[in-house]
Structure 1
Amino acid sequence: MAKGFLAGLKGVDAFGKTTEDVKVKTRTGAFLTILSAAIILAFTTMEFLDYRRVAVDTSIVVDKSRGEKLTVRMNVTFPRVPCYLLSLDVMDISGETQRDITHNILKQRLQTDGQKVPNAVSSELSNELDKVNSARDPDYCGSCYGGLEPEGGCCNSCEDVRQAYVNRGWSFANPDAIEQCKNEGWSDKLKEQADEGCNISGRVRVNKVIGNIHLSPGRSFQTNSRNIYELVPYLRDDGNRHDFSHTIHALSFTGDDEYDIYKAKVGREMKERMGLGKNPLDGAIARTSKSAYMFQYFLKVVSTQFRTLDGKIVNTHQYSSTQFERDLRDGGNADTPQGVHIQHGVSGVPGAFFNFEISPILVVHSETRQSFAHFVTSTCAIIGGVLTVASLIDSILFATGKALKKGGSSGKHL
């Protein structure tokens, strides 16, 4: 019974065997066999390389993140603005204002030839003035010379008097007449550094809303809901003409620290596809010979997310940039020897302004790789297809050769 059942299975065998006696081997068949093997090897190798290759699928979704902060990395050089005049402020649409940021920011004094000033990192005069103030009588209470007094009622440093003047709406035009400034040698220190430049680098944390980062002369103060800039030291004619010519070595919006690690691992071709090359403003140079000159950069920031094969998610931001320049004198705001307070938004302030706007779109780059099942299926299709086509060609050539031989034999017989 079992033998009969197994014997009956032979009828459904789709792979009928031929005996060695009826096989005919030809040189054409051998050539096609070698050619087929070469084609199969080449196509299988390409398929294997494609299987190992990491591809990137890009999709766009709505950015639903809330309450996040962006890290802005910058490295900018101002060859004709001393560090003590350079102030970094951040304002945004939410009303948050960060004035004269120094945390995570490094200011490097530069000589006229662009070289770093030896043994000098930051030109902030407050570090030296703190030592002077510490040597004073603890009960000392300096006059504010008519300026708006602080809560304590005392102006113990030249900077305190200067701020009191600004808060009152006065111009701080004659520091040599102020006792605190004379004791601190304020004017002498400014003259020593008047012809220097400044490199400012570091990180700034900003809210993920519309805002601006501005590098401007002097410190800004808020009076009656207005942002006021005291520009006397910048505009003073001391024989050194200041201007905001600058070079942007690097400016980027980042999220995770893992982004740099991921960027280092990605190949050159992949970087170009995903836009991981230079940022639009990296290496940008802006030049002017006018002190009352404003440089504005309008940045469109897009959130970007990278999803790796091992499930890791890396967040960062990319941006596009448009530049605009304005001569403030053309707007009727001429420099004056005494200096003026300039209200931002009405006539402008000399400096470099980076206005950023956050896009509601999130670009997602997902790493993908061909599945092993797809690789096996493709390999089988390649082998079967090549062998089938080679078999058909061999059959046609064999039949044609056989017919020609038969025709030749018949002709000889006649």
Structure 2
Amino acid sequence: MSVDVKRGETLPIHINMTFPALPCQVLSVDAIDMSGKHEVDLDTNIWKLQCEPMYAFSWKEWKSRLHDVDSSEKKHEHKFDADAEEMIKTVKHAMENGEGCRVYGVLDVQRVAGNFHISVHGLNIFVAQQIFGGASNVNIVPTEYRYLSKDVLPTNQFSVTEYFVPLRETDRSWPAVYFLYDLSPITVTIKEERRSFLHFITRLCAVLGGTFALTELNNVLRSNSFKTSP
């Protein structure tokens, strides 16, 4: 083990997630880290692919929720601009058709603690809260594999803890799937080594010596057994 002294390098994070009942128009990939870097709706090396309907989506349930939302909006006099209204119409149509979305690509993040999350945008918050809300804590340990050929493979080991936080009707936070990551300051080095011929001879002598000792002990016991026989 050694202290991780890497500076200025990035950590590539490969993602490949499918949301079978959410259209691509409402999904956003955001990232933030301890250095203060904050990126919203990433599209560099991140792609969204519309998926065919995977199952019959219950639009009646969503329509009922939207009706309740409309009533709540009228009560609180919430209004949307033309762009938001158009987005809501598009999303309604996509949900009615049961469209899903596959989000995949590579995030290059700095080697400091942070998180990236996939959240919904363009939806009314009351409806969005019904979709999802969960998080995964990822502990990352930098690791190096050093081979006999002197090649070095830098990689990472990690452990994951998942938990789900249900949203209440009174919450005003946007639901999302969060991936919170933290890097260990210690690097684990795993070396491939070839044992020397001298080590082989030593092990062989130990085995032969043990075999000889057991054989002699067996002979002594048998000899004593014959001597004590009547």
Same fold (TM over 0.5): yes
Instruction: Measure, in 2, the Cα distance between the counterparts of 1:364 and 1:172.
Output: 58
Q: Paired residue for 1:208?
A: 111
Counterpart in the other structure of 2:69: none
Counterpart check, 1:234 vs 2:130 = no
Deviation by residue 1:291-323 (Cα, 9 ceiling, x = unmatched): 3x4222222222122222332221112222333
Instruction: Quote the Cα distance in structure 2 between the aligned partners of 1:385 and 1:365.
Output: 33
Residue in structure 2 matching 1:86, options 19, 27, 40: 27
Asked if residue 310 in structure 1 is aligned to residue 159 in structure 2, the reply is no
Deviates more, 1:309-318 or 1:383-392: 383-392
Number of positions where the alignment pairs a residue of Structure 1 with one of Structure 2: 206
CA distance in 2, matches of 1:297, 1:392: 61
Q: Which is richer in helix?
A: 1
- Cα separation, 1, equivalents of 2:84 and 2:188: 59
**Does 2:5 align with 1:98?**
no
User: Does the CA contact (< 8 Å) of 1:80 and 1:242 recur in 2?
Assistant: no
- What amino acid maps onto 1:235 in structure 2? N
With over 3 angstroms needed to count, the CA separation of the structure-2 counterparts of 1:393 and 1:302, relative to structure 1, is closer
Counterparts in 2 of 1:381 and 1:211: CA distance versus 1, 3 Å: closer
How far apart are residue 395 of structure 1 and its match?
7.5
Structure 2 counterpart of 1:319, which letter? Answer: F
Relative to structure 1, the CA distance from residue 395 to residue 214 in structure 2 (aligned partners, 3 Å threshold; closer, same or farther) is closer
Between the aligned partners of 2:202 and 2:151, the Cα distance in structure 1 is 29
How many angstroms apart in 2 are the aligned matches of 1:89 and 1:209?
Answer: 16
Residues 1:193 and 2:32 aligned together: no
Determine if contact 1:68/1:208 at 8 Å carries over to the other structure: yes
Q: How does 1:343-382 map to 2 (within 5 A)?
A: 347-382=172-207
Cα distance per residue 1:128-171 (max 9 Å; x no partner): xxxxxxxxxxxxxxxxxxxxxxxxxxxxxxxxxxxxxxxxxxx8
Aligned partners of 1:304 and 1:315 also within 8 Å = yes
RMSD: 3.5
Instruction: Report the Cα offset of residue 388 of structure 1.
Output: 5.7
Which residue does 2:82 correspond to in 1?
175
| AA of the residue aligned to 1:69 | T
Contact (CA 8 Å) 1:76, 1:200: kept in 2 or not?
yes
Q: Which amino acid aligns with 1:175?
A: A
- Equivalent residue in structure 2 for 1:320, among 159, 163, 183: 159
State the shift of 1:204 in Å: 0.8
For 1:216 and 1:388, locate their aligned partners in 2 and report how far apart those are by CA, in whole Å: 71
TM-score by length of 2: 0.72
Whichever residue aligns with residue 84 of structure 1, its letter is: Q
How do 1:232-311 and structure 2 match up within 5 A? 233-235=122-124, 290-291=130-131, 293-311=132-150
2: CA distance between counterparts of 1:104 and 1:211? 19
Match of 2:211? Answer: 386
CA contact (8 A) 2:51 2:101 kept: yes
Unmatched 5+ stretches in structure 2: 56-77
In structure 2, give the amino acid aligned to 1:110.
C
- After superposition, give the CA deviation of every residue in 1:360-409 in whole Å (9 maximum; x if it has no partner): 122222233432211112223433553465467558867987x79xxx9x
CA distance in 1, matches of 2:137, 2:219: 69
Are 2:47 and 2:105, in contact at CA under 8 Å, matched by a contact in 1?
yes
Alpha-carbon distance in 1 for matches of 2:136, 2:211? 60
Q: Which amino acid is 1:364 matched to?
A: T
Distance in 2 between the 1:306 and 1:211 partners?
A: 26
Could you tell me which runs of 5 or more consecutive residues in structure 1 were left unpaired when the two chains were aligned.
Answer: 1-59, 115-170, 219-232, 244-289, 334-346, 409-414
- Classify the secondary structure of the residue corresponding to 1:234: coil
Q: Could you say which structure has the larger radius of gyration?
A: 1
Q: CA deviation at 1:352?
A: 0.9
| TM-score normalised according to structure 1 size | 0.43
> How much identity, in percent, do the aligned residues show?
31
